[in-house]
Structure formats: C-alpha cells, structure tokens
C-alpha cells in the first residue's frame, strides 16, 4: 500500500524529554521554534530549536501541584508567555524574564515567572487557550465541572491582572476547547468546546431537561454577541455523540467555511458553514450548516488528540492504539490517510541500563532528581 | 470468598529472567518468550503477540499447590519458585533443572508448626532470601511466617526428622489470625503487607525483628494489599467490587474508594509507571487502568478534602488485550489473570480463561502537536518523537510548497510573467501568464473601458453594453478547399477576446501561435489551430512533419477530405478513437464545415450548430483554444451562453484556467476562493489579489455584506500575512504589503505614523499630501524630513528624547540622518525608545531598557534568535 511506503520514508527522531511521568501536552509557539511540554510530574519544560532540527532544553520548572494537562503559547506580540492548566484546579500564566544566573546543572536555563494564578475553578482545569491575537489578550479555560471562563488582560503589559469577563456554565464536563482562528471580522469570536461526559442515560436526561431543544451532541459552539455582550451557545453538533477528547479548528486560510477536527471514538472532520442571515429563516433559524466530511475509525479505539498543520491541509491524530496518523486533504472535502507512525514498542529494546536498575534499592531515590531516567 | 471458581489460572513474570513467565493452573508451566523468527521451525509454540511466541520450557503438576511466587534471586540460572501447599508446607523448586544450583536452594522445604492451608507466598525483591508465607488460622500459631531461605531450610531428605532449630522461621506474626495474602513493599525498609481476618490491612515493619512495628487499617476491602513501587506509602487494596487506595501515613480512611462495575479479583501496580494501578474484574474481558492523580498531598486540609472528591482524582480507562488468535470466533473469553512485566515499559501478560495468553503493551495516551518545526508526539517513557517538516515535502503538502515558493519571492517579481516560472505548476503558471497578457493588452490600449485592471473574456465581451453589440457574420471559404465554406463572426469585442486567448485576429497573428505550438512538441494542437484558421494546407504540413507515424496517417485522411458519404461515415467512426483531443476537434470541425455547393443559407445553417458544439465538447483542449474557437464560430447568443456556462462550471470546480473568462473581477474572486478551498493555496490567491485586484475588493468589510465575495480577498491577505509571519519571512511579507497598498491609492493604506503626544497630529511631513507608502510596523517615516526638527511642527512642543543619546528624536542624532539609524524605534512593552541605531547598539550589550529605573527586558521579549 502507498501509505506503507510513505511511512518508511520518514525517520522520526527521539527527544529525551526527561519527564518523570506521562507527557500530556506539547505546544509550539507561533513560529514553531519553541516548544513547551507538560506532564503528570507537574513540570513544564521549554525547548528551543537549534535551527538544525534539534531541540535544546531552555526551561524547566515545577508549575503546579497536580498533573499539568495543557500548555499553550500566547502570540509573540505579547512577549514570551505561556499558560498552563492543571488538575490542581488552577490555571497559570508564565512569562519568560531572561537568562538565569544559575550555574551548574541549571546553566543555560531561562527563568519563567508566574505572572498570574487563576483560581476560580472548583475542579480540575482541563484546557486552556489564548484567544486570537486580534481580540486582544484573551485566555479561556474550561473545567471538569463544565464552566468555561474567559479572562482578559486589559493591559497587555500587566500580565498579573486578569479579569474574569465571562463565565459560561455548560452543565456537562468539558474536556477541550478551541478558538476559531478566523481573522475575518465577519465572524464573531467563536469557541468550540467538547465534552467527555460519558454517555449514561443520566447525562442524556439532564441535558434534555435543561434544554428544550434536546441535543445529545458533545460538541458545542459558542459565539460572542457584540450586541448582548455575552457568549451564547449557538449550536450543538448532533453528529458527535460519543465523549470527545480533543477538538481543533483548522487554520482558516481564507476559506469561507470552518473545518473542525474532533477526536472521539473516531477522527472526524466537520465542516461548519455559517448560514447567511438572509436565508436564516428558511433554515429553521440554525446558525450553521454542518456536514461531517469524514469519520475514520482507523485507530480502532478511542482517538486522543487531533492537530492541524499550519495550512489546515494535513491533520495528525493519535489514538489509544499508540499510533499517530496523518490525514491529507485530497480534493475538496476528501481526506485520506497519508502516513502511520507506530510508537516502537519499548519492550523490544529496553535501554540496557533499565534491566539492572529495576532492583536497585529504591530508598536511594528519595530525591526525585536521582531517579533513573526512563 | 477468595477461592477462585473452577479453573484457576495465574500468570507471573519472572522478576529476574525477563523473558520467562509461568502460568499456573492445574499445572505449573514455565514459558520462554522469544521473537517468532527466532523460534526454531519445528518447536511448538504459543503465539502471544504479533511478533512474539512462547515456548514451553518445563511443566509440572500443580496438584495440592495453593499459591506460587517466583523469586528474585539473581544468582539462580532458572526461575526459582516457592510453592505453598494445602498442608502449609512451602517448597522451593525450579521447574527446569539447571546444571548448576549455586545456592543449593532447589528442593528446600519449610513447614509450619501446625498444618493448615497456605494462602499466599511472597518473595522479597529487595532482600531476595526472604520469603513470607500467609496461612489460615490456627488458634495457637501465627498466620504469617517469615523464612530466610538461606538459613532455616530443610533439605527434602531430612524433612522427616526436621530439627526444631533449623526449621524456625525468622519471624512470626498474627497469632491465631487468618492471613489472606501477603506482599512485600519492594522498598528497602523491609515492609510487609498482609490482609488479615477479612477486615484488616496490616503493615509490618520488619527492620527490627525483635520489635516489629504494625500499622492497621480497617476495611472490608482489605484483600490483595500491595504498595506502589514508586510511592511506598501508597497502597492499594480490593474487595468485592471496590478498589481502594490508601495512604500508609493516614490509615484512618482510604484516600480513594473506586467502585467498579464487577467484582475485582486482581489488582497490581504498574512497576514501570507511577501511579498506575491495573485491576481485573471477574468475568471481564477488559483490564481497567486507574491513573491515580497524586494531587491530594498529605497536607490536604480536611475541609478541602470534600471538594477534592468532586473532581476526578483518578482517570480510569479500559484496555482489552486480546489473544492474537482467538480460539473461537465471536466474543473473546473473559480474562483470568494478568501480570505486569517487571521491567519493560507498560508491558503486561494477560491470560484468559481458555488459556490464551496475550503479550500486551498498554499505550499511553499519545499527545501530538504540529508547528513550524514539524510534528511532535509523545513516545512514552518521557520521550518525544519529532518528525521534521521534510515529511510534508514527501506528502507534497501545500504548506511546504507555499513556504518554498515564498522563499523564492514567488508572486513578488516586478513582472507578472516572472512569477509563472517560480510556481512550478501548470495551472499557476497559466494564471500568471494570463494576468501578464491581459495587463499588457490593457496597457497597449487594445482593451479599453475595462472596469478591471485584468479583464477576462467575459467582461470584454460584455463591456460594450450588455448584449448590445452585433457581430457580423462572414461566410468564408477555406482557401485550400474552395468547395467548402464556414461562417465566421467578427466584431471588435470578439477581436479583443481573441487577443486575450492568445489567438489574435487573422492568420498573420495566428501563424506565430501555430509555429510555437509545433515547436512545443504539440503538432496536433498546431495542426488544429491552423485548421481553425482555415489553413488546411498548413495543418497538413504540420502533421506531415510530425515525428509520430500515425499523425502522418491522419494527415492522409484529412487530405482525402470529401463529401462522400463513405468518407464521412468512416470519419465519424474513427474520430472518437483518435488519441488527441485536438485531432478529434480538427476532424469534427472539418466534418461540420458545409459543402460550398449546398444552398447558401447563412441565416440558419441547421446542422452547423450541433457539430460545432461537438468541437467545443472536446474539453481536453485548452480553455483558451475552446473559447477562441467559440469566439470565431459561434453566433452571439450561443457565444454568450457558452461563455456563461463555462465560467460557472470552472468557478464551481475552482479551475484556475477559468481566470481567462473571469479576469480579476468579483467573479475571479469567487474562482480563486474555490481554488483556495480546493487546494489550500492561499498564497497565490493572496498574491494575485494584492497585485491585480482593484482595491475595493481588498478592503476588510466591517459589516457582513450581501455579497460574501467582497470579504474573500481580505481573508486571503490576512491568512497569508499570518503565514509569512509564522515563517519569519519578513521581506516577502513587507513586499506583499507594498503591493497590496500600492494599488490602494493615496491614504487608503494602513499607515503607522508618529503622532505628537501633545497635539496628536503626525509629526512627519505635515504639510505635504500623504504619500502612498508601505506600512512598516515599527519603522515610521524616515527622518529625512525631520532632520532639522526637534519639535512638533503643529504645536511646537518638543519631541521625545532618545533613551540612549538624550537628544530629541528627529534631531538627527545618528550620523546621516535620513538613514535607518535615525528612525524612531520603541519597545512595544515599556514604550521607551530612541534612535534605531542607538537602540541596536545598546541591546547588543544590555538586556534592560536604556531608560534608568525601567526594568523592562525589551530585547528578550522577542524569542531568542536561532543561531
């Protein structure tokens, strides 16, 4: 098969991130030259490209008191700023302030300062994203109890001050969110959120009771209405019925519609088209026309993450089958798997040191810095 | 209740011998795992995963055996097993007899004082000579015995006359209690966990055997207690359909109580990943992973504790290890047991009730990100896998193509046609050539009164007023075939349209095109063009010169052109079989030309229409040839209909050749929009928009308008600018802005001007009319005009001073004045600034702002430059 051939062409290189636990998120900055990783070991690490395909660790610090779920970069116009969210019920905004004077093992690491700690959530904060640049310095978080919070830094120079502008209750557990990156002023600010609420009869019932228009979908679209000065749910995608793990709007690239990738039981690409005001009445008042362009269950299991390339013409997805797949747009609305990467089963070739370290006296590891690398 | 039903099956990895495991049911069998390709052909094996198989090394009956554990004695060449028997006796055995038995442990036996059921044995993995045994209750004996296998052992032959001295266990615990199971905390502090008397978890500290410390937790869910290998204080236990997690330091209540859908009958901590607990429910086909979130540290205040419980403090998911070859189709049999591999990352072995074994690696959830550098995803074990962007080249993705084109200044060359070669794509090349052609035609005055800078055929045909022109029908004879004739139509509009198509009017212009087509190696097209210009002789010559012999045969057929019915029928039959669309069109055209002898009826030649339609239906011909053909031979109404239909089709398909019809007009915008949506090539669309579209179409509309086409071009420009920014291609970006603003006319472009902080008016060139100048974000007007001024020309208030030299800005602090060095520049963060040259020098040596008492790290606000 063609896809096999292509897979063989690619050689993925390995970066030893040295996180002590599962890496939950990796985020590139705007230029794709810096990378932030976060992990269950409560650390956040910053990596800089050396321009030749290699990555150098330039920052590493313990950011939270719980697993760090997501990390995201602000537009470089606002400086070198990232936001993280964690199981410890907080989200934090960090800014790089230059080189440290530290010597020894920390030499070369740059200092990141916590500018703000957003503690409004009562439950685990599951996702955090900076808003599109043209809206100012906005930050949106969502939490497991289903509240979306939109913060704004009124003074972009003062990252310590964030005002909670909007609090949107959704009544279902929210796992992920994505801003619509469209630059066009025609589209009002738009957010898509996905819920990982399991499909129990209970949950379905509760959703139905609080909304007259029953919708069992797990993906909601919120839009900001300039007139009402509030965010309102304008659509609920009925095509996504299973718990959603990740959601991503494609870079708009001047398209007249939006592409939304949804990671659920399968990889879905949904075309969201605004219905013009004039034809609104004919359409039963629906704000959007949605169409599922494709749904691939090639992962044979739960899909965990989806991610677009810079033009929105390639989609990467990862699933519980340990594979990363690339999907390529073939012709208008047609997508095909272009490559598959399987994480090499590490059982085959464990690092030689591992076999012997399994029985070292673990008491020597009281200091986590002494942990054997794995 | 802990006794398993019927067929009990257990699986245990050997802790030291990483490729061996035992399965223990009615027999105890030792297996060795190897790759399928390493297994010798004739050996019988069980396939346990896609590329591994297990071969039986040894087997023995497990009659009377109640519990088994594999020792971690490293010196032992083969796995050493401790078997707990129904009588309470514990024997050491190696299923496969090794040649050497360095420690002489094989065959040793340990007997309790009073015989009763042995419930559990456990080897310590730290002090590998220690063996703990859990037994049923006896009123005058202890239920947990600790043996030192090196010391207190009895060789089998002497077991009958066991000396009381040697048979003494190292320690005894739990007088007249029942121990259901024991397990070592595999940390050096010699801690033993036991589930006792149906309701206690007891933790024994055995460092000082004369003074044993005991911690007790009370719970119904006390079975299977075991400690997390990474956090010795974290303990898991099970009972009924609940899994509990305890903190050994706070045993008053469980940290977590996790109800499960089924009765849980086995739990185990993952030895290679922190905080990962695996449980198996009875009759379940799946294993459940509990990813314990460590958030509630011991400092959690009691009051907050309630709130913590609201959030998910554990992430649970299920995995279904399936044996590679299910014994029977249909539902896989439920799993009987599992065991983590002691060293390999997240690898486990599961065995189902039918005896099928599955070697399974639990996948961590893989996160994936895509950025300028490439794709990166987490590869397990704290690593990242990074795939550089070269992959996108292999995939021929548009993002890679666009970036490469942007680096070559694609679309920014001063002459439009120069961009065609850079595109390296036929459709785009045609687009740029057409734009260059239409521009030159407009400039030469061939096309006048066009509303667009780059008119297309449709607007040219229309421009004299909607349908307001009349074409003149001219019956013409074919010069080489005087007995045939066709009707051609002429008008000024058609002539201009033909120029756009590259045909020109008359044979003088067309002959060059025919020669070019022949030189390009397309003799069929050359011949067809000649024939469409009624130069049949020329067409025959072209075909006769052709390299391919079959073309000469076609020439032969053409030469025989006649009105004979036989010839016509043969032609009609042969035409569809011809390989080239131009040849087919050529034959169809000749067949359609009416014989000159037919009664002259120029007004309505009935057969002509459909036949010419057949020529136009040859869509493999280039669009310009088809359109030009239509412009010559179709009457007005039909021509309009044809052009309209073709335009709509091409717009719908997003076919760039349609730009010939639409030109750079709102229709062209719709066409480019389809192209963008089809291919993602926003670059070409944005560049064409910046260079060729009238400025009204570039504006970003503030209000949603009726016609969405008006907002498209602004969207392309915005998207492409953002792409160029992300690629750090500043020069193409500024050149794009220059082009986009160049067509805007004075004042319409976005300017950045320095305003006086007192009066708010621009300090630059106040009394001249605004110049059409590109907007450079940080580079306000050159200081040339302000060389002499140091105050605002409007209000006479002084301009701000340079932070470095303390001179007023505009005072020409840097030598040369008009040069870049004298320009205003400032930090977007602290708003301090100065002469650009001074600031550059300053930040070579400093990171802080030059203004004293300002601690802004202006230069580090930019990401570090890559080396």
What value, to the nearest 5°, has the Cα angle with vertex B787 and ends B784 and B788? 145
Mean pLDDT across A337-361: 47
CB atoms within 10 A of CB B512: 12
| Residues 15-44 (A) with a CB less than 8 A from some CB of B | 15-35, 37, 39-41
Tokens 């005072």 sit at which residue? B811
Note whether B277 and B340 are within 8 A (CB).
Answer: no
Percent of chain A with pLDDT over 90: 19
CA-based nearest residue in chain A for residue B321: A321
Cα(A86)–Cα(B369) distance, integer angstroms: 19
CA distances from B707 to B453, B669, B748 (A): 21, 11, 22
Residue B358, phi then psi, degrees to nearest 5: -130, 125
Q: Which residue from B minimizes the CA distance to A353?
A: B343
Pairwise CA distance, residues B704 & A166, whole Å: 25
Is the minimum CB–CB distance between B205 and chain A shorter than 8 Å?
A: no
pLDDT of residue A275: 75
Radius of gyration over every alpha carbon of chain B, rounded to an integer in angstroms: 44
Instruction: Select from B680, B701, B733, B831 the residue whose CB has the most chain A CBs within 10 Å, as the one to mutate to test that interface.
Output: B680
Question: What confidence category does residue A37 fall into, taking pLDDT thresholds of 50, 70 and 90?
Answer: very high
Tell me the sheet residues that pair with B268. B278
The reply to whether A136 touches chain B by the CB within 8 Å rule is no
C-alpha separations of A298 from A12, A214, A295, A319, B759 in Å:
21, 30, 9, 9, 65
User: Is A109 in the B-facing interface, judged by CB distances under 8 Å?
Assistant: no
Show the tokens assigned to B484: 């045939």
Planar angle of CA B455, B456, B460, nearest 5 degrees: 80
Shortest Cα distance from B765 to chain A (angstroms)?
Answer: 29
pLDDT band at A351 (very low <50, low <70, confident <90, very high): very low
Q: Cβ of A107: how many Cβ atoms within 10 Å?
A: 10
Which residues 699-738 of B are in CB contact (within 8 Å) with A? 700-702, 704, 706, 708, 711-712, 714-716, 718-720, 722-723, 725-728
Q: Determine the residue of chain A that is closest to B859 in CA distance.
A: A98
C-alpha distances in angstroms, B90 versus B145, B148, B152, B512, B680?
11, 12, 12, 103, 72
pLDDT score of A368 = 39
Q: Encode pLDDT of A118-154 as tens digits.
A: 998 888 899 999 999 888 899 999 988 889 999 999 8
Which of B375, B687, B829, B867 is the best mutation test for A, with the most CBs of A within 10 A? Answer: B375
What's residue A142's pLDDT?
A: 92
The residue whose two tokens read 């230069």 is: B859
CA distance A112 to A57: 13
With beta carbons less than 8 A apart as the criterion, state whether B23 and B6 touch.
no
Would you state the structure tokens that stand for residue B691, as one six-digit string?
A: 């260079």
- Provide the pLDDT for residue B105: 76
The 3-state DSSP composition of chain B as helix, strand, coil percent (nearest 5) reads 30, 25, 45
Share the mean pLDDT of chain A: 78
In this predicted structure, what is the pLDDT of residue B480? 65
Predicted complex ipTM exceeds 0.95: no
Range 834-863 of B in CB contact (< 8 A) with A: 847, 857, 860-863
Instruction: Show Cβ contacts of residue B39 under 8 Å, excluding neighbours closer than 6 positions.
Output: B45, B53, B55
Nearest to A309 among B125, B397, B701 (CB): B397
Tokens found for residue A93: 């905004």
State the best of A9, A133, A345, A348 to mutate against chain B, taking most chain B CBs within 10 Å: A345
Of residues B745 and A254, more confidence is placed in A254
A100–chain B Cβ distance below 8 A for any pair: no
Average pLDDT score over residue span A81-101: 85
* Distance of residue A310 Cα from the nearest chain B Cα, in angstroms: 7
Of B268, B252, B264, the residue nearest B305 (C-alpha): B252
B682 to chain A: nearest residue by CA?
A: A253
Category of B717 on φ-ψ map: left (φ > 0), alpha (ψ -120 to 50) or beta: alpha
Report pLDDT for B753. 63
Q: What is the pLDDT of residues A274-329, one digit of tens each?
A: 876 655 444 455 678 888 888 888 777 788 899 998 888 888 888 877 788 888 88
Q: What distance in Å separates the CA atoms of residue B105 and residue B109, rounded to the nearest whole number?
A: 9
With an 8 Å Cβ cutoff, are B366 and A343 in contact?
yes
B303 near A CB under 8 A: no
Interface A-B, measured as beta-carbon pairs within 8 A, has a size of: 334
CA pair distance B632, B630, nearest whole angstrom = 5
Contact A22 B364 (CB under 8 A): yes
B71: contact with A, CB 8 A cutoff: no
Averaged pLDDT, groups of 10, chain B, 867 residues long = 55 85 85 81 76 83 84 80 85 76 76 84 84 86 83 50 57 83 79 86 82 83 85 84 84 82 86 84 83 56 45 69 54 80 82 81 81 77 76 76 88 84 84 87 76 79 59 72 74 82 76 82 84 82 79 75 70 75 81 55 42 78 86 84 89 86 85 87 89 75 61 86 88 86 52 67 51 42 51 75 77 47 74 82 83 76 55
Using CA coordinates, name the residue in chain A closest to B74: A359
- Shortest Cα distance from B657 to chain A (angstroms)? 17
CB contact under 8 A, A254 and B386: no
């Amino acid at each position: 098969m063609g896809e096999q051939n292509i897979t063989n062409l690619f050689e993925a290189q390995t970066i030893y991130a040295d996180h002590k636990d599962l890496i939950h998120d990796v985020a590139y900055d705007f230029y794709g030259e810096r990378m932030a990783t976060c992990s269950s070991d409560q650390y956040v690490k910053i990596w800089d490209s050396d321009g030749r395909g290699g990555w150098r660790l330039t920052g590493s610090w313990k950011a939270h008191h719980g697993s760090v779920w997501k990390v995201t970069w602000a537009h470089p116009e606002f400086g070198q700023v990232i936001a993280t969210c964690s199981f410890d019920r907080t989200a934090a905004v960090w800014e790089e302030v230059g080189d440290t004077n530290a010597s020894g093992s920390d030499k070369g690491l740059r200092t990141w300062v916590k500018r703000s700690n957003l503690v409004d959530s009562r439950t685990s904060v599951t996702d955090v994203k900076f808003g599109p640049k043209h809206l100012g310095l906005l930050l949106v978080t969502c939490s497991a109890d289903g509240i979306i919070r939109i913060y704004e830094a009124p003074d972009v120079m003062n990252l310590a001050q964030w005002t909670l502008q909007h609090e949107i209750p959704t009544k279902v557990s929210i796992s992920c969110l994505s801003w619509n990156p469209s630059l066009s002023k025609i589209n009002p600010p738009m957010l898509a959120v996905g819920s990982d609420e399991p499909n129990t009869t209970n949950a379905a019932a509760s959703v139905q009771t609080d909304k007259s228009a029953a919708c069992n979908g797990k993906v909601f679209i919120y839009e900001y209405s300039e007139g009402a000065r509030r965010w309102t749910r304008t659509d609920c995608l009925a095509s996504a019925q299973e718990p959603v793990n990740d959601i991503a709007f494609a870079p708009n690239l001047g398209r007249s519609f939006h592409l939304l990738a949804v990671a659920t039981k399968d990889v879905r690409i949904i075309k969201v088209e605004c219905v013009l005001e004039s034809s609104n009445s004919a359409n039963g008042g629906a704000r959007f026309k949605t169409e599922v362009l494709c749904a691939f269950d090639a992962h044979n299991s739960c899909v965990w993450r989806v991610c677009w390339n810079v033009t929105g013409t390639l989609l990467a997805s990862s699933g519980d089958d340990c594979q990363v797949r690339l999907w390529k747009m073939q012709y208008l609305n047609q997508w095909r798997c272009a490559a598959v990467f399987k994480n090499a089963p590490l059982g085959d070739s464990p690092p030689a040191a591992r076999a012997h370290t399994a029985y070292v006296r673990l008491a020597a590891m009281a200091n986590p810095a002494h942990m054997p690398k794995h | 209740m802990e006794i398993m039903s019927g067929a009990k099956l257990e699986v245990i990895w050997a802790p030291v011998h990483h490729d061996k495991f035992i399965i223990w049911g009615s027999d105890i069998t030792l297996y060795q795992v190897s790759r399928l390709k390493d297994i010798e052909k004739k050996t019988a094996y069980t396939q346990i995963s896609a590329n591994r198989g297990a071969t039986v090394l040894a087997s023995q009956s497990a009659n009377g055996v109640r519990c088994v554990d594999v020792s971690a004695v490293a010196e032992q060449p083969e796995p050493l097993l401790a078997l707990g028997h129904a009588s309470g006796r514990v024997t050491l055995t190696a299923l496969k007899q090794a040649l050497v038995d360095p420690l002489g442990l094989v065959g040793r036996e340990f007997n309790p004082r009073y015989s009763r059921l042995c419930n559990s044995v456990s080897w310590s993995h730290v002090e590998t000579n220690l063996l703990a045994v859990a037994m049923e209750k006896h009123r005058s004996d202890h239920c947990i015995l600790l043996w030192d296998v090196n010391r207190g052992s009895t060789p089998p032959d002497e077991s009958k006359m066991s000396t009381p001295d040697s048979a003494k266990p190292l320690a005894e615990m739990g007088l007249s209690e029942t121990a259901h199971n024991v397990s070592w905390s595999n940390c050096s502090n010699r801690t033993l966990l036991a589930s006792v008397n149906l309701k206690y978890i007891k933790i024994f500290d055995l460092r000082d055997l004369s003074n044993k410390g005991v911690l007790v937790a009370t719970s119904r869910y006390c079975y299977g207690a075991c400690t997390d290998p990474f956090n010795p204080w974290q303990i898991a236990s099970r009972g009924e359909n609940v899994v509990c997690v305890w903190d050994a330091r706070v045993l008053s209540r469980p940290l977590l109580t996790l109800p499960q859908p089924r009765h849980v009958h086995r739990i185990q901590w993952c030895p290679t990943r922190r905080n990962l607990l695996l449980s198996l429910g009875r009759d379940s086909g799946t294993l459940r992973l509990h990813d314990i979130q460590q958030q509630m540290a011991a400092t959690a205040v009691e009051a907050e504790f309630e709130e913590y419980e609201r959030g998910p403090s554990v992430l649970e998911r299920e995995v279904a290890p399936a044996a590679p070859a299910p014994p029977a189709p249909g539902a896989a049999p439920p799993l009987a047991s599992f065991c983590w591999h002691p060293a390999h990352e997240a690898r486990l072995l599961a065995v189902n009730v039918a005896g099928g074994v599955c070697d399974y690696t639990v996948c961590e959830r893989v996160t994936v990100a895509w950025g300028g550098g490439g794709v990166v995803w987490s590869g397990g074990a704290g690593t990242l896998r990074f795939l550089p962007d070269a992959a996108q080249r292999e995939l021929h993705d548009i993002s890679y193509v666009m970036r490469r084109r942007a680096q070559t200044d694609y679309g920014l060359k001063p002459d439009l046609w120069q961009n065609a070669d850079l595109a390296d794509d036929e459709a785009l090349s045609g687009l740029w050539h057409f734009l260059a052609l239409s521009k030159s035609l407009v400039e030469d005055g061939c096309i006048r009164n066009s509303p667009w800078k780059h008119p297309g055929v449709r607007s040219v045909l229309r421009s004299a007023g909607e349908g307001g022109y009349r074409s003149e029908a001219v019956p013409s004879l074919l010069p080489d075939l005087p007995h045939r004739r066709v009707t051609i139509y002429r008008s000024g509009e058609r002539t201009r349209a033909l120029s756009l198509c590259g045909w020109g009017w008359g044979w003088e212009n067309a002959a060059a095109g025919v020669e070019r087509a022949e030189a390009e190696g397309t003799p069929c097209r050359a011949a067809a063009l000649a024939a469409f210009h009624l130069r049949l002789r020329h067409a025959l010559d072209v075909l006769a010169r052709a390299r391919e012999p079959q073309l000469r045969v076609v020439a032969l057929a053409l030469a025989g052109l006649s009105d004979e019915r036989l010839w016509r029928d043969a032609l009609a039959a042969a035409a569809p079989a011809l390989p080239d669309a131009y040849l087919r069109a050529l034959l169809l055209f000749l067949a359609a030309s009416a014989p000159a002898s037919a009664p002259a009826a120029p007004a309505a030649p009935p057969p002509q229409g459909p036949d010419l339609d057949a020529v136009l239906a040859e869509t493999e011909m280039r669009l310009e040839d088809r359109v030009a053909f239509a412009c010559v031979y179709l009457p007005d109404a039909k021509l309009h209909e044809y052009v309209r239909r073709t335009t709509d089709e091409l717009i719908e398909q997003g076919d760039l050749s349609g730009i010939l019809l639409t030109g750079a007009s709102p229709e062209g915008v719709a066409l480019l929009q389809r192209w963008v949506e089809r291919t993602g090539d926003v670059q070409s669309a944005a560049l064409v928009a910046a260079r060729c579209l009238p400025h009204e179409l570039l504006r970003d509309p503030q209000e949603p308008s009726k016609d969405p086409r008006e907002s498209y071009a602004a969207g392309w420009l915005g998207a492409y600018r953002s792409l160029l920014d992300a690629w750090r291609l500043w020069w193409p970006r500024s050149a794009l802005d220059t082009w986009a603003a160049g067509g805007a006319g004075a004042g319409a472009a976005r300017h950045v001007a320095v305003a006086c902080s007192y009066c708010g008016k621009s300090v630059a060139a106040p009394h001249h009319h605004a110049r059409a100048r590109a907007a450079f974000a940080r580079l306000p007007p050159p200081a040339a005009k302000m060389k002499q001024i140091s105050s605002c020309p409007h209000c006479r208030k002084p301009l701000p001073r340079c932070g470095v030299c303390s001179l007023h800005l505009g005072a020409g602090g840097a030598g040369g004045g008009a040069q870049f060095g004298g320009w205003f520049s400032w930090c977007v963060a602290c708003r301090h600034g100065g002469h650009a040259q001074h600031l550059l020098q300053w930040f070579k040596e400093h990171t802080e702002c030059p203004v004293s008492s300002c601690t802004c790290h202006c230069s580090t606000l930019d990401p570090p430059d890559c080396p």
